[in-house]
Structure 1
Amino acid sequence: MTERNPLRSVVRLVAVVTGSLIFLSSTPTVHAQSEAQGTIYSRFGLGERVGMTSSRSQAMGGGALATRSDRGTNFGNPAALSDIFFTRFTVGFVRNNITESADGFEDSNLASGYLNAIQISFPLLSYKIGVGLSSSPYTRVGYRVEEQGTFESDPGTGNMTPYSVTFHGNGGLQKVSTGIGYSPRTGFSIGASADLLWGILEHVQSTGFLNPAFDDGIVVESTRLSGITGTFGIWYRQTGFLTTAKSFSGGATLTLPTSLKGTRVFSSGRAGTADTLATIKVSAVQLPLSATLAVAYQANARMTFALDFLYEGWGNVTSDVAFPGLNDDGEYTDRYRFSAGVEYGGGSVSDAFTRRVLIRFGLYLDNSYVSP
């Protein structure tokens, strides 16, 4: 196997990084203004915690951070960036279909889709040093709830006026990461990434009346936040585990806590013409320490099993502005996530199509950091 010219790789690195950052930096703005609806739980805290490390990870329960594959890059662990040979570009798209039901009411169905992640990775030295850039969501806000009713608008005549109150939100925090992985020896890698977090959390309450004597109104709370953190990772792989056809791998990551800063703007007025009422400086919205531990077992060339555990210490975070979803003690709760997945199939390009198809299955258990 011929090594690539390091000088050529560095030149390519400068060109790709420059173009990628210009493209990636525009992506979160589009995402933050998106009004794609999702779960009502995104109303609370900083939004629903989400993440996208790879399509393989998503299909295997959202983990699989200790696995490796020549078909893709593992962005969940910066140490795994060392284990690449090809330059890769990945775009992720998510479509949700949510059905809500309650006794005495008709079922409500809601479908939405949105761009989930953009990722680029390339080697500086094949299977030795690799670099990756990614833009993916950290939290997501996307909900819409409507309440309808009537009130007595004219006590003299007893006339009733229908009204509707709509609560909806959009935006979220986006994470833009630049990482590097290095393998000092075969089967062992270390890595680190710099992570920029930023975005807009917007919550809107609008009121409408079916009576021209009353003006429709709107109240908007918009919070803009940004901050920087870092992630460190290690990855280990032992081939010939038990037998020569099997291998075992393990990995761990640690993301440092950080504090987000920004502004919160309150607006109110008639629908479509809301005026700014106040702007508050936000100086300390903390994000927690996060740690992952993952293992993977490759039984043979066509079957891989993965187990992952994630911990986020939300119970220790503080904020100088209020967010909904606190528990009875006035604080968030620690988040734990367990996932398991299996992958079967795959073959060389010369194999029949049916042998090259990959089948992945995963499940997970995730407790939210908010208690609505």
Structure 2
Amino acid sequence: MMHFVRVLLIALLLTLGSLLPAWGQSAGDGSIYSRFGVGELQSFSSSQAQALGGGGVALRSLNYTNFSNPALWSDQVLTRAEIGARFQTIESTSGQGGDSRLTAGTFDGVQFSVPLLRQKLGVAFGFVPVSRSNFRSEVQRTTSSSPFEGEELDYQVEFLGRGGLQKITGGAGYRFNDALSVGGSLDYIFGTLESQRRTSFPTGNLQEAVATEGVRLTALTATIGSHLTLSDQLRDDDNLMIGAAFTLPTTLSGERTRTIGESLDRDTLSTGVTDGDFDMPWSASVGVAYVPSEALTLTVNGSYAPWGEAESSLTTGGETSFVFPAGGPETLTDRWTMSSGVEWRPAGDDSFQGFLARTGYRLGVSYEQLYVSPDKSTTLNAVEARLGISLPTSISGTRIDLMGNVGRQGTTSQGLVQDTYYGVSARVSIGERWFQQRRLR
């Protein structure tokens, strides 16, 4: 019966995961900042780390596969599969008084890990989002260059975008002793960013014009990580953990296709294909986690990536913009993040306590300097608060994690846009013992 429940649960989650991306991508309005660079950057390590503000580079856990640091993959006891999804609403307000709203569901990735040697050597594989582009903006204009002599002509320009980058990652982590572990992963990044510029005419018998630009990108990179655990530092039986991860810089090889047509069905009048590349800089993350007892966990994390040094022979984001000029390297700046969180599990590791005592309660906050900017001297920031709960189940090794978040990014000053977003997410982590050798007694 338990095996049937597990199979049914996995099937339902896979079905939900396959449907949500398609619905979210066709939703329409999103953040205008996803127009620039390679889109709005996404990150996911584990549901536990996400609820603690993100990162989790030092967060060692037997219940989760943490993808922020491959060194942590050495700690697995159970073969584990994880999948999740999230719903988010974005409300955008411009300095000119315009606003938009998007409510969409998106896929949060799939993770799979196997302990080859229990708490010694483990491997992990995952499919996770890297960036997402989903925006729409409109501009009303008037021109005196009208085919109707002596009349001014009103027209509307609409910018739309969708797509994003995904990552397939796989690697291993190895623990040398109780204190030190290391790990590494190979990461394949791929995806398509698409933008459209549609010009329509409210009056007159004029056909609308549609210019479409699609950029297909691929790259291969790698991540290395290390983790140090120090025991009995401030009190008996406590653990002070320090983690670090470094992702190598890479070049996204791209093919840009431009199409000019008379409608959205791509009845094209002309096309053009251009090859080029886009630099993705290195990134480094450092984290500290302190566990004074089995019931309490405290974390602090930071990361940095020098996006301001990026160069590109492909101008993603189109030829013009509603907010600021073309989405090339001149609109990018260095990105850094800071986060902190706390988790409380009243029962600790005691599996014989009641349901509420075995439940995990989480709170996290984060601050980010966005990697897009109207100019090199102006930076845009994002702040976010997260509240999570981790529910135990009757299936051993399986937990259901729920999280709510609310945040704000950008500004309405200087004619820019401010986004207010809030949402919920759900993730299921299923763990079982595999590859056990049967013994006769």
Per the TM superposition, whether the score is higher than 0.5 is yes
Give the CA deviation at 1:111.
1.2
Q: Which position in structure 1 is the counterpart of 2:292?
A: 299
Question: Structure 1 residue 244 and structure 2 residue 236: aligned?
Answer: yes
Question: Structure 1 residue 311 and structure 2 residue 297: aligned?
Answer: no
Q: Secondary structure at the match of 1:185?
A: coil
Distance change >3 Å, CA 73–CA 108, structure 1 → 2: same
Give the gaps of 5 or more residues in structure 2: 1-13, 318-324, 375-441
Q: Amino acid of the residue matched to residue 278 of structure 1?
A: G
Separation in 2 of the partners of 1:35 and 1:125?
A: 44
Give the CA deviation at 1:78.
0.3
Q: Is the 8 A contact 2:189 2:220 kept in 1?
A: yes
Q: Which position in structure 1 is the counterpart of 2:266?
A: 273
Give the CA deviation at 1:151.
6.4
Distance change >3 Å, CA 109–CA 281, structure 1 → 2: closer
Separation in 2 of the partners of 1:314 and 1:331?
A: 10
Q: Structure 2 matches for 1:13-52, cutoff 5 A?
A: 34-36=25-27, 37-52=29-44
Q: Secondary structure at the match of 1:82?
A: helix
Distance change >3 Å, CA 107–CA 298, structure 1 → 2: same
Distance change >3 Å, CA 83–CA 210, structure 1 → 2: same
Matching residue within 219, 222, 231 for 1:230: 222
Q: Which position in structure 2 is the counterpart of 1:256?
A: 248
Once structures 1 and 2 are overlaid, which stretch shifts more, 51-60 or 208-217? 208-217
Question: Structure 1 residue 66 and structure 2 residue 58: aligned?
Answer: yes
Q: Amino acid of the residue matched to residue 341 of structure 1?
A: G
Q: Is the 8 A contact 1:32 1:200 kept in 2?
A: no
Q: Which position in structure 1 is the counterpart of 2:337?
A: 337
Distance change >3 Å, CA 50–CA 267, structure 1 → 2: same
Equivalenced residues, count: 344
Separation in 2 of the partners of 1:70 and 1:259?
A: 35
Q: Amino acid of the residue matched to residue 35 of structure 1?
A: S
Q: TM-score, normalised by structure 1?
A: 0.84
Give the CA deviation at 1:122.
1.3
Q: Secondary structure at the match of 2:49?
A: helix
Q: Is the 8 A contact 2:229 2:241 kept in 1?
A: yes
Q: Which position in structure 2 is the counterpart of 1:368?
A: 370
Q: Is the 8 A contact 1:79 1:189 kept in 2?
A: yes
Q: Which position in structure 1 is the counterpart of 2:407?
A: none
Separation in 2 of the partners of 1:105 and 1:290?
A: 36
Q: Amino acid of the residue matched to residue 360 of structure 1?
A: R
Q: Amino acid of the residue matched to residue 337 of structure 2?
A: R
Separation in 1 of the partners of 2:326 and 2:155?
A: 30
Question: Structure 1 residue 142 and structure 2 residue 134: aligned?
Answer: yes
Q: TM-score, normalised by structure 2?
A: 0.72
Q: Is the 8 A contact 1:138 1:174 kept in 2?
A: yes
Q: Secondary structure at the match of 2:67?
A: coil
Give the CA deviation at 1:102.
4.8
Question: Structure 1 residue 357 and structure 2 residue 366: aligned?
Answer: no
Once structures 1 and 2 are overlaid, which stretch shifts more, 105-114 or 137-146? 105-114
Query: Percent identity over the alignment?
Result: 33
Give the gaps of 5 or more residues in structure 1: 1-22
Separation in 2 of the partners of 1:292 and 1:363?
A: 17
Give the CA deviation at 1:75.
1.1
Give the CA deviation at 1:346.
5.3
Q: Amino acid of the residue matched to residue 285 of structure 2?
A: T
Matching residue within 185, 190, 196 for 1:198: 190
